[in-house]
Structure 1
């Protein structure tokens, strides 16, 4: 597995070695011991799959009391995958990383706990798989508006394609109003609201 850097040092792209012949191909998508040694010493407890049509934007989502690290990959189609650092004490606080993940490039993105996550579908359809380091907790889910002016994420929105987004995501909090993580290392359950310097 090849490790590729992103705009944020803690967010990594993983690119597999593919073995192909006239029958097709084979590649390893995950090896626990290797991941713990080279990426993060975490355990995955839940795996999710989603299917979305072109123009769908999901995010930006995160959990506070049960923060989730996510290993995201695409098994059909292509997405633009985005994460935002919400850890107040992090040197990259408030910064974002975005990468194209597709069935063709077979890349995975590691999004650590303490980040908000979302994606935009650029192909006709896209199916995503993501492993999580904690369980989904509906009462602990938070969202930040996808087009927040402060974050200024450069989404590759297709001009002629209508944006498909849930009401919840369309009415998400601004970054300035969002609950944030105090400590990047332990990911404290104690949070601050909005600007980290204000409290």
Structure 2
């Protein structure tokens, strides 16, 4: 299956009282970049990450959000979100981000990316949007976007095809992981079928099942 990148977005430094880190700075405000953007194992070149303890790192190097889901929020909130306003690096079109299987690989530009897990909304997200109950509404919507790790470094840009080149047979999706870790804990055992699930999240699931 092939979709495309609508935009590649890089974080700018935002200082606000709702920003999550101790310095009061956040990189959630991402803006479309021009031209080709280098992708490394650490993420996109020039992307500011304000909370490295919770964002970024190999398993969260790149964050993708679907324009189709952005359109739903436009109708829900009565505003037109621009690319990057969900804090996403990749604004996609015709890519089933919620239905992406953990471990599936996307060929984008000259890079190869692998889906790892969903994004969990936080108070920084709600503060940036100015919607106090956004975390609850985002959770109920169940379309969280997907984090990706970089298997092959390269360059990407707006308009690039997004091609799913490999999909694991276990079938555990980003949407299932999100529902299991938020509103539907009965799905937690299913997550252990996905060996590509990041280690810290896998251990969290095991602890919850053991408790």
In which range does the TM-score fall when normalised by the shorter chain? under 0.3
- Which is helix-richer, 1 or 2? 2
